């Protein structure tokens, strides 16, 4: 009985921790976007990226992380996340950011949710690139359920 009572409390604490981590992440990204000296700390790209482009990449990261956060807290289903990411992929800067950060995702464990979501994004970008339709909103198959 005590285990069943603790589970909602544990989920509440986990969601609260996720919200706090998300808030802190966005605060740090905003500081880096506003200050080139701080943005330099996050410059881990394999090629030289001009400052304005780095700021755009930081913003793209903030948008991506925001969408993931909404999914993680249960405010967006996996299918809804897929649709949201499909819209983001229409932007050239976002696709450039995704390509520039490919090596960042190589260290993720293959069993992690973030790895699976990154793979879903890679597949979506490839499907959009391979598509011969102007109707980008129908490209890619949304996940059937919320298990990444």
Please give the chain's pLDDT, 148 residues, in tens: 555 555 777 877 887 888 888 888 888 888 888 888 888 888 888 888 898 999 999 999 999 999 999 998 889 999 999 989 989 998 999 999 999 999 989 889 999 988 999 998 999 888 888 887 676 766 677 777 654 4
Interacting residues of 147 by C-beta distance below 8 A, sequence separation 6+: 78
Query: What is residue 6's predicted lDDT score, i.e. its pLDDT?
Result: 56
Query: What is residue 148's predicted lDDT score, i.e. its pLDDT?
Result: 45
d(CA 10, CA 6): 6
Query: What is residue 147's predicted lDDT score, i.e. its pLDDT?
Result: 47
DSSP code at position 73: T
Burial of 54 (0-12, 13-18, 19+ CB in 10 A): buried
d(CA 95, CA 78): 20
Which stretches within the chain are classed as H helix?
2-34, 36-39, 51-72, 78-88, 92-100, 113-130
Query: What is residue 111's predicted lDDT score, i.e. its pLDDT?
Result: 93
């Amino acid at each position: 009985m005590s285990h069943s009572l603790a589970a909602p409390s544990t989920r509440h604490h986990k969601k609260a921790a996720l919200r706090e981590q998300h808030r802190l992440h966005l605060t740090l990204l905003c500081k880096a976007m506003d200050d080139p000296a701080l943005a330099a700390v996050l410059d881990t790209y394999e090629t030289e990226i001009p400052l304005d482009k780095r700021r755009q990449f930081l913003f793209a990261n903030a948008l991506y992380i925001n969408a993931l956060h909404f999914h993680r807290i249960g405010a967006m289903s996996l299918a809804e996340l897929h649709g949201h990411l499909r819209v983001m992929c229409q932007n050239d800067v976002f696709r450039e950011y995704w390509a520039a950060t490919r090596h960042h995702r190589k260290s993720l464990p293959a069993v992690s949710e973030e790895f699976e979501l990154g793979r879903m994004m890679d597949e979506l970008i490839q499907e959009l690139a391979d598509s011969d339709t102007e109707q980008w909103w129908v490209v890619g198959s949304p996940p059937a359920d919320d298990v990444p």
